[in-house]
Structure formats: structure tokens, C-alpha cells
A and B are shown apart, each in its own frame.
Chain A
Amino acid sequence: EAGVAQSPRYKIIEKRQSVAFWCNPISGHATLYWYQQILGQGPKLLIQFQNNGVVDDSQLPKDRFSAERLKGVDSTLKIQPAKLEDSAVYLCASSLALAGGERAYEQYFGPGTRLTVT
């Protein structure tokens, strides 16, 4: 099966500029996640969608970050305006999220977008 697709793979912007990332999850996966991974740390969840509804966005800096998942499939994550501390890899993941069974909990990750803010 095709994996989680993300684009772009790399992006360099200046602070105060805007940037958008795109994610296409595995077909049939109801849950989609956006993570931020700063160098040397583990991924940190930014937002979690179940179909096209937000399940958790408690760690999303809502003054500058926004995300949407149209029609419960693709998703975009936007940063406006960017700050230096936003330099990180942004990972998108998806999971089946069916009740019961271990496969519901396994998350499949895309290759990530490496963002550098100068």
C-alpha cells in the first residue's frame, strides 16, 4: 500500500513569512496527526484529526499555526508568521483508528518536511 505522502520535503523561509505543508494519509485511515520534531527530541503532537474533525489541538500554537483536513482526507498545516523557533521537521502520520485491535494504535509516518526559518 502507498505510504503517507508529504510535501514539500524541504523549505527555507525568513522569519515572519508564511509556509504551508501538505499531507496525504494512507487510504482508509481515519485519523491524521501532525507532529513537530525539533532536532534531538522526539516528535511532539500538534494536532490530531478524526476524519475531518479535530480531536486534540491542545499543543498547537493557535496564534500562528492552523491546520485543516478537508473531506476527511488530505490535510494542510500552515504557519503564519514563522519564528526562528519553528525550525523543525514536521511529520504527518495516520492510523486506522478502528475500535480494538493493535493496528488501530499503530501510526504510519510520512517522510516529513524539514523547515528552516532564518
Chain B
Amino acid sequence: SQQGEEDPQALSIQEGENATMNCSYKTSINNLQWYRQNSGRGLVHLILIRSNEREKHSGRLRVTLDTSKKSSSLLITASRAADTASYFCATPSSITQGGSEKLVFGKGTKLTVNP
């Protein structure tokens, strides 16, 4: 089945620096989502990018999608200690017209932001 794979597996940076993590997937998709998981707030949806979009912003987050390379990247600018978490990309296992989707998650990138 299709699966997103994040890279790197772990990333350690200093507060204020930018963090970039990548996701590759295998088959055609109509959207890709990024989620964050930390011990305090559990798994939380960050952003969704559709297949006809190349870039999307939300606050300090920037997501890109390259459907020709089947890859996406998540950039967190001006990182904070509170950004310390695991970040997962999630892709639908089949293309749907709407309604619910079966999501497949990657193994995640563990980001540590040092104060």
C-alpha cells in the first residue's frame, strides 16, 4: 500500500533556526497532510495541500508539493522550543471525490528544538 516516508528520521536545531523535513510517497494522490505529535497535545493536524497546489503557508509553516517527484516538504521558520515534536506526513491510500479518506502515515521526523 502507498506510504509516505519522512526524511530525516531525526533533526536537532537551535531555537530561531529553520527546520525542513521531507516526505516521499509512491502513487498519485489528491492531497497530502502534515500532522504533529507531542506528548502534551497528541496528534494534531497542521496543514493540507491539494495536488493542484504547489505551495501553501500557515503561520510559520510552509508546505510544498511536487507531484512529479512525488514529494513534499514542511518548513518551520524561526523555530521555538515548543515546536519539539514528531512530524508525520499522511497520504490517502486511494483517491476519493470527497468524504472520508483512509490515511497512511509515515514513520515521522523527530524534531528537537534546543533553547
Q: Which residues of A contact B (CB under 8 A)?
A: 30-31, 40-45, 48, 50, 55-56, 91, 93, 95, 97-102, 104-112
Contact = CB atoms under 8 A, between A and B. Distances in A.
B105 A97 contact: no
Interface stretch (B13-21, B38-46, B65-73, B74-82): B38-46
A106 B48 contact: yes
B97 A105 contact: no
B103 A107 contact: yes
Nearest to B33: A105
A109 B37 CA distance: 10
A42 B45 contact: no
A91 B43 contact: yes
B33 A106 contact: yes
A43 B90 CA distance: 10
A95 B43 contact: no
List 6 tightest A-B contacts by C-beta distance, closest first.
Answer: A42-B105, A99-B98, A31-B100, A109-B43, A97-B100, A106-B45
Given A91-B43, A102-B48, A107-B45, A41 B98 contact: no
A43 B42 CA distance: 12
Contacts of A31: 99-100
Interface string B88-109: 1010100001111111111110
Interface residues on B, range: 20 to 34
A55 B90 CA distance: 19
5 contacts: A31-B100, A43-B105, A98-B99, A111-B42, A112-B42
B2 interface: no
Contacts of A93: 43
A91 B90 CA distance: 15
A108 B46 CA distance: 11
Contacts of A106: 33, 45, 48
Contacts of B97: 99
B20 to A, nearest CB: 19
Contacts of A108: 45
Contact of B107 (A42, A48, A99, A104): A42
